[in-house]
Protein backbone atom coordinates (compact mmCIF):
# COMPACT_ATOMS: atom_id res chain seq x y z
CA UNK A 1 0.00 0.00 0.00
CA UNK A 2 1.23 3.48 -0.86
CA UNK A 3 2.50 5.17 2.29
CA UNK A 4 1.43 8.61 1.15
CA UNK A 5 -2.06 9.92 1.69
CA UNK A 6 -4.02 9.45 -1.57
CA UNK A 7 -5.07 12.66 -3.30
CA UNK A 8 -7.20 13.93 -6.17
CA UNK A 9 -6.04 15.37 -9.48
CA UNK A 10 -8.19 17.53 -11.73
CA UNK A 11 -7.54 16.65 -15.37
CA UNK A 12 -7.61 19.22 -18.18
CA UNK A 13 -10.92 20.52 -19.52
CA UNK A 14 -11.34 18.49 -22.71
CA UNK A 15 -14.32 20.43 -24.08
CA UNK A 16 -14.57 23.87 -25.64
CA UNK A 17 -15.98 26.27 -23.06
CA UNK A 18 -16.24 30.01 -23.52
CA UNK A 19 -13.21 31.79 -22.09
CA UNK A 20 -15.04 33.40 -19.18
CA UNK A 21 -16.68 30.12 -18.19
CA UNK A 22 -13.29 28.36 -18.38
CA UNK A 23 -11.68 31.06 -16.21
CA UNK A 24 -14.45 31.05 -13.61
CA UNK A 25 -14.38 27.26 -13.45
CA UNK A 26 -10.71 27.25 -12.48
CA UNK A 27 -11.11 30.18 -10.10
CA UNK A 28 -13.70 28.17 -8.18
CA UNK A 29 -11.52 25.05 -8.29
CA UNK A 30 -8.69 27.10 -6.80
CA UNK A 31 -10.84 28.46 -4.00
CA UNK A 32 -13.02 25.48 -3.11
CA UNK A 33 -12.00 22.09 -4.53
CA UNK A 34 -9.98 19.58 -2.45
CA UNK A 35 -7.62 18.60 -5.28
CA UNK A 36 -3.86 18.54 -4.91
CA UNK A 37 -2.88 18.77 -8.60
CA UNK A 38 -4.48 20.56 -11.53
CA UNK A 39 -3.60 19.58 -15.10
CA UNK A 40 -4.37 22.53 -17.34
CA UNK A 41 -3.98 23.39 -21.01
CA UNK A 42 -5.50 22.63 -24.40
CA UNK A 43 -5.41 18.92 -25.12
CA UNK A 44 -7.84 18.30 -27.98
CA UNK A 45 -7.69 21.06 -30.62
CA UNK A 46 -5.20 23.88 -31.06
CA UNK A 47 -7.87 26.07 -32.68
CA UNK A 48 -9.46 26.42 -29.26
CA UNK A 49 -6.44 28.12 -27.72
CA UNK A 50 -7.59 31.66 -28.45
CA UNK A 51 -10.63 31.11 -26.21
CA UNK A 52 -8.49 30.44 -23.14
CA UNK A 53 -5.18 32.19 -23.83
CA UNK A 54 -6.33 35.58 -22.44
CA UNK A 55 -7.17 33.95 -19.12
CA UNK A 56 -4.33 31.48 -18.78
CA UNK A 57 -1.96 33.60 -16.68
CA UNK A 58 -4.56 34.77 -14.12
CA UNK A 59 -5.92 31.22 -13.78
CA UNK A 60 -2.43 29.83 -13.11
CA UNK A 61 -1.77 32.62 -10.61
CA UNK A 62 -5.02 31.90 -8.75
CA UNK A 63 -4.37 28.15 -8.64
CA UNK A 64 -0.80 28.58 -7.39
CA UNK A 65 -1.92 31.06 -4.74
CA UNK A 66 -4.41 28.46 -3.54
CA UNK A 67 -1.65 25.88 -3.11
CA UNK A 68 -2.54 23.72 -6.12
CA UNK A 69 0.32 21.99 -7.92
CA UNK A 70 0.23 22.80 -11.63
CA UNK A 71 0.88 20.41 -14.52
CA UNK A 72 0.64 21.65 -18.13
CA UNK A 73 -1.02 19.47 -20.76
CA UNK A 74 0.28 18.97 -24.30
CA UNK A 75 -1.84 18.43 -27.41
CA UNK A 76 -2.98 14.87 -27.98
CA UNK A 77 -2.47 14.97 -31.75
CA UNK A 78 0.05 17.21 -33.54
CA UNK A 79 -0.58 17.53 -37.28
CA UNK A 80 0.59 21.05 -38.18
CA UNK A 81 3.88 22.89 -37.91
CA UNK A 82 2.32 25.57 -35.73
CA UNK A 83 1.13 22.85 -33.37
CA UNK A 84 4.61 21.37 -33.26
CA UNK A 85 6.04 24.77 -32.43
CA UNK A 86 3.42 25.27 -29.75
CA UNK A 87 4.32 22.00 -28.02
CA UNK A 88 8.05 22.76 -28.28
CA UNK A 89 7.55 26.20 -26.74
CA UNK A 90 5.30 24.86 -24.01
CA UNK A 91 7.88 22.31 -22.93
CA UNK A 92 10.86 24.63 -23.28
CA UNK A 93 9.30 27.53 -21.38
CA UNK A 94 7.21 25.78 -18.73
CA UNK A 95 8.18 26.35 -15.09
CA UNK A 96 5.84 23.45 -14.23
CA UNK A 97 5.88 19.74 -15.01
CA UNK A 98 4.36 18.84 -18.38
CA UNK A 99 1.97 15.97 -19.09
CA UNK A 100 2.58 14.17 -22.39
CA UNK A 101 -0.58 13.21 -24.28
CA UNK A 102 1.22 11.52 -27.17
CA UNK A 103 4.59 10.05 -27.97
CA UNK A 104 5.79 13.04 -30.00
CA UNK A 105 6.20 15.02 -26.78
CA UNK A 106 8.31 12.37 -25.09
CA UNK A 107 11.50 13.07 -27.05
CA UNK A 108 11.31 16.70 -25.91
CA UNK A 109 10.69 15.66 -22.32
CA UNK A 110 13.36 12.96 -22.02
CA UNK A 111 15.29 13.17 -18.74
CA UNK A 112 13.03 16.00 -17.56
CA UNK A 113 10.55 15.13 -14.79
CA UNK A 114 7.14 14.83 -16.46
CA UNK A 115 3.74 13.12 -16.37
CA UNK A 116 2.17 10.61 -18.73
CA UNK A 117 -1.49 11.17 -19.65
CA UNK A 118 -4.13 8.43 -19.96
CA UNK A 119 -4.10 8.90 -23.74
CA UNK A 120 -0.68 7.21 -23.88
CA UNK A 121 -1.00 3.41 -24.08
CA UNK A 122 0.67 2.15 -20.92
CA UNK A 123 -0.63 -1.42 -20.92
CA UNK A 124 2.12 -3.27 -19.05
CA UNK A 125 4.85 -2.82 -16.46
CA UNK A 126 7.65 -2.99 -19.04
CA UNK A 127 6.28 0.09 -20.79
CA UNK A 128 5.84 1.91 -17.47
CA UNK A 129 9.45 1.15 -16.50
CA UNK A 130 10.77 2.46 -19.83
CA UNK A 131 8.84 5.69 -19.36
CA UNK A 132 10.08 5.97 -15.77
CA UNK A 133 13.70 5.65 -16.94
CA UNK A 134 13.06 8.46 -19.41
CA UNK A 135 11.85 10.80 -16.68
CA UNK A 136 8.19 10.03 -16.03
CA UNK A 137 7.36 10.73 -12.40
CA UNK A 138 3.60 10.15 -12.63
CA UNK A 139 1.52 8.00 -14.97
CA UNK A 140 -2.24 8.23 -15.33
CA UNK A 141 -3.16 4.78 -16.58
CA UNK A 142 -5.58 4.33 -19.51
CA UNK A 143 -9.18 3.94 -18.33
CA UNK A 144 -9.66 0.70 -20.26
CA UNK A 145 -7.26 -1.24 -18.03
CA UNK A 146 -8.81 -3.92 -15.79
CA UNK A 147 -7.89 -4.13 -12.12
CA UNK A 148 -5.59 -7.10 -12.74
CA UNK A 149 -3.45 -5.04 -15.15
CA UNK A 150 -3.30 -2.12 -12.71
CA UNK A 151 -2.06 -4.58 -10.06
CA UNK A 152 0.70 -5.85 -12.33
CA UNK A 153 1.89 -2.44 -13.51
CA UNK A 154 1.94 -0.74 -10.11
CA UNK A 155 3.56 -3.70 -8.34
CA UNK A 156 6.44 -3.88 -10.82
CA UNK A 157 7.18 -0.20 -11.45
CA UNK A 158 8.89 1.45 -8.47
CA UNK A 159 9.44 5.17 -8.16
CA UNK A 160 6.33 6.30 -10.05
CA UNK A 161 3.11 7.86 -8.76
CA UNK A 162 0.23 6.06 -10.43
CA UNK A 163 -3.10 7.67 -11.12
CA UNK A 164 -6.45 6.28 -12.30
CA UNK A 165 -9.35 8.06 -13.99
CA UNK A 166 -12.01 7.94 -11.28
CA UNK A 167 -14.61 10.28 -12.77
CA UNK A 168 -15.48 11.48 -16.24
CA UNK A 169 -16.31 10.42 -19.75
CA UNK A 170 -13.50 8.21 -20.96
CA UNK A 171 -11.24 9.35 -23.83
CA UNK A 172 -11.44 6.70 -26.55
CA UNK A 173 -9.95 8.08 -29.77
CA UNK A 174 -8.72 11.21 -31.51
CA UNK A 175 -8.58 11.93 -35.24
CA UNK A 176 -7.12 14.43 -37.68
CA UNK A 177 -10.68 14.90 -38.95
CA UNK A 178 -13.50 16.56 -37.03
CA UNK A 179 -16.60 14.41 -36.88
CA UNK A 180 -18.22 16.96 -34.58
CA UNK A 181 -18.04 19.65 -37.26
CA UNK A 182 -19.19 17.24 -39.97
CA UNK A 183 -22.18 16.19 -37.86
CA UNK A 184 -23.31 19.82 -37.88
CA UNK A 185 -22.74 20.42 -41.59
CA UNK A 186 -19.27 22.00 -41.46
CA UNK A 187 -15.72 21.03 -42.36
CA UNK A 188 -12.78 21.13 -39.99
CA UNK A 189 -11.16 24.18 -41.59
CA UNK A 190 -14.40 26.13 -41.29
CA UNK A 191 -15.86 24.48 -38.21
CA UNK A 192 -17.17 27.76 -36.74
CA UNK A 193 -16.39 26.23 -33.34
CA UNK A 194 -19.68 24.36 -33.24
CA UNK A 195 -18.27 22.12 -30.49
CA UNK A 196 -18.81 24.96 -28.00
CA UNK A 197 -22.54 24.33 -28.39
CA UNK A 198 -21.98 20.96 -26.67
CA UNK A 199 -20.02 21.71 -23.48
CA UNK A 200 -20.28 18.07 -22.43
CA UNK A 201 -19.86 16.50 -25.87
CA UNK A 202 -22.34 15.67 -28.65
CA UNK A 203 -24.09 12.32 -27.98
CA UNK A 204 -23.98 9.74 -30.79
CA UNK A 205 -26.68 7.07 -31.11
CA UNK A 206 -26.63 3.73 -32.89
CA UNK A 207 -29.08 2.96 -35.70
CA UNK A 208 -31.27 1.50 -32.97
CA UNK A 209 -31.19 4.89 -31.23
CA UNK A 210 -29.18 3.63 -28.31
CA UNK A 211 -26.69 6.03 -26.73
CA UNK A 212 -23.21 4.98 -27.80
CA UNK A 213 -20.46 7.61 -27.80
CA UNK A 214 -20.01 11.36 -27.60
CA UNK A 215 -18.11 13.64 -29.98
CA UNK A 216 -15.83 16.37 -28.69
CA UNK A 217 -14.36 18.09 -31.72
CA UNK A 218 -11.75 15.71 -33.13
CA UNK A 219 -11.99 13.53 -30.04
CA UNK A 220 -14.36 10.66 -29.29
CA UNK A 221 -15.29 9.99 -25.67
CA UNK A 222 -17.59 7.46 -24.04
CA UNK A 223 -21.25 8.28 -23.61
CA UNK A 224 -21.10 6.80 -20.11
CA UNK A 225 -19.20 8.45 -17.28
CA UNK A 226 -16.64 6.34 -15.48
CA UNK A 227 -17.38 6.50 -11.75
CA UNK A 228 -14.99 4.55 -9.54
CA UNK A 229 -16.20 5.21 -6.01
CA UNK A 230 -16.70 1.74 -4.54
CA UNK A 231 -13.33 0.86 -6.09
CA UNK A 232 -11.29 3.62 -4.43
CA UNK A 233 -10.20 1.69 -1.36
CA UNK A 234 -9.11 -1.28 -3.44
CA UNK A 235 -7.09 0.95 -5.73
CA UNK A 236 -5.37 2.59 -2.76
CA UNK A 237 -4.51 -0.91 -1.56
CA UNK A 238 -2.92 -1.59 -4.94
CA UNK A 239 -0.64 1.42 -4.50
CA UNK A 240 -2.49 3.95 -6.64
CA UNK A 241 -1.74 7.32 -5.07
CA UNK A 242 -3.89 9.75 -7.08
CA UNK A 243 -7.32 9.74 -8.62
CA UNK A 244 -8.20 11.85 -11.63
CA UNK A 245 -11.44 13.77 -12.01
CA UNK A 246 -12.03 14.73 -15.64
CA UNK A 247 -14.07 17.95 -15.83
CA UNK A 248 -17.64 17.59 -17.05
CA UNK A 249 -20.24 20.32 -17.40
CA UNK A 250 -21.45 20.02 -13.82
CA UNK A 251 -20.52 21.16 -10.32
CA UNK A 252 -17.00 19.76 -10.21
CA UNK A 253 -16.32 21.26 -6.79
CA UNK A 254 -19.11 19.10 -5.38
CA UNK A 255 -17.74 16.11 -7.30
CA UNK A 256 -14.29 16.68 -5.79
CA UNK A 257 -15.67 17.04 -2.28
CA UNK A 258 -17.66 13.84 -2.68
CA UNK A 259 -14.66 11.85 -3.92
CA UNK A 260 -12.50 13.29 -1.17
CA UNK A 261 -15.08 12.20 1.41
CA UNK A 262 -15.22 8.63 0.11
CA UNK A 263 -11.45 8.43 -0.38
CA UNK A 264 -10.76 9.38 3.22
CA UNK A 265 -13.59 7.46 4.87
CA UNK A 266 -15.94 10.29 5.74
CA UNK A 267 -18.62 9.11 3.30
CA UNK A 268 -19.89 5.68 2.34
CA UNK A 269 -19.40 4.78 -1.33
CA UNK A 270 -23.06 3.87 -1.89
CA UNK A 271 -24.21 7.18 -0.44
CA UNK A 272 -21.57 8.88 -2.54
CA UNK A 273 -22.90 7.30 -5.73
CA UNK A 274 -26.43 8.44 -4.94
CA UNK A 275 -25.20 11.99 -4.47
CA UNK A 276 -23.02 11.79 -7.57
CA UNK A 277 -26.03 10.90 -9.71
CA UNK A 278 -27.73 14.06 -8.47
CA UNK A 279 -24.69 16.18 -9.27
CA UNK A 280 -24.19 14.70 -12.73
CA UNK A 281 -27.41 13.18 -14.13
CA UNK A 282 -26.42 13.76 -17.77
CA UNK A 283 -24.80 10.38 -18.47
CA UNK A 284 -25.15 6.89 -16.98
CA UNK A 285 -22.27 5.70 -14.85
CA UNK A 286 -19.94 2.86 -15.82
CA UNK A 287 -17.11 0.86 -14.29
CA UNK A 288 -17.01 -2.11 -16.65
CA UNK A 289 -13.42 -1.74 -17.84
CA UNK A 290 -12.15 -1.86 -14.28
CA UNK A 291 -13.96 -5.16 -13.71
CA UNK A 292 -12.79 -6.77 -16.95
CA UNK A 293 -16.05 -6.26 -18.81
CA UNK A 294 -17.27 -3.93 -21.55
CA UNK A 295 -16.53 -0.34 -20.64
CA UNK A 296 -20.14 0.84 -20.68
CA UNK A 297 -21.21 -1.77 -18.11
CA UNK A 298 -22.13 -0.90 -14.55
CA UNK A 299 -21.12 -3.45 -11.91
CA UNK A 300 -23.33 -2.67 -8.92
CA UNK A 301 -22.32 -3.14 -5.29
CA UNK A 302 -18.73 -4.00 -6.13
CA UNK A 303 -16.84 -5.00 -3.01
CA UNK A 304 -13.09 -4.50 -3.21
CA UNK A 305 -10.71 -6.02 -0.69
CA UNK A 306 -7.42 -4.41 0.24
CA UNK A 307 -5.97 -6.31 -2.73
CA UNK A 308 -8.73 -5.11 -5.04
CA UNK A 309 -10.52 -8.34 -5.85
CA UNK A 310 -13.25 -7.87 -8.45
CA UNK A 311 -16.91 -8.41 -7.68
What is the pLDDT at residue 211? Answer: 86
Alpha-helix runs per DSSP H in the chain? 19-32, 49-65, 81-93, 106-109, 125-133, 147-155, 179-183, 232-238, 252-263, 269-279
Cα(185)–Cα(200) distance, integer angstroms? 19
Cα(217)–Cα(179) distance, integer angstroms? 7
What is the pLDDT at residue 200? Answer: 96
Residue 236 has pLDDT above 80, yes or no: yes
What is the pLDDT at residue 302? Answer: 46
Greater confidence (110 vs 72) lies with 72
Task: Identify the CA nearest to 14 among candidates 44, 57, 50.
Answer: 44
Q: Judge whether 167 and 259 are in contact, CB under 8 Å.
A: yes
pTM of the model: 0.94
Mean pLDDT, rounded, for 148-159: 97
pLDDT category of residue 173 using cuts at 50, 70 and 90 = very high
Amino acid sequence: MNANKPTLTLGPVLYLWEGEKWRDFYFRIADEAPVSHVVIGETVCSKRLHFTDPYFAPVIERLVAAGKRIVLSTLALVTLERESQYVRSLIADSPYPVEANDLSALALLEREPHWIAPLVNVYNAATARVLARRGARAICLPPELPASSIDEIVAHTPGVDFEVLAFGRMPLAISARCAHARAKGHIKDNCQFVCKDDPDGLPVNTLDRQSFLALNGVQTVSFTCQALLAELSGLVGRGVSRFRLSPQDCDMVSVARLYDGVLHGRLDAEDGLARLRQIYPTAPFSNGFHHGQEGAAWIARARNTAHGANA
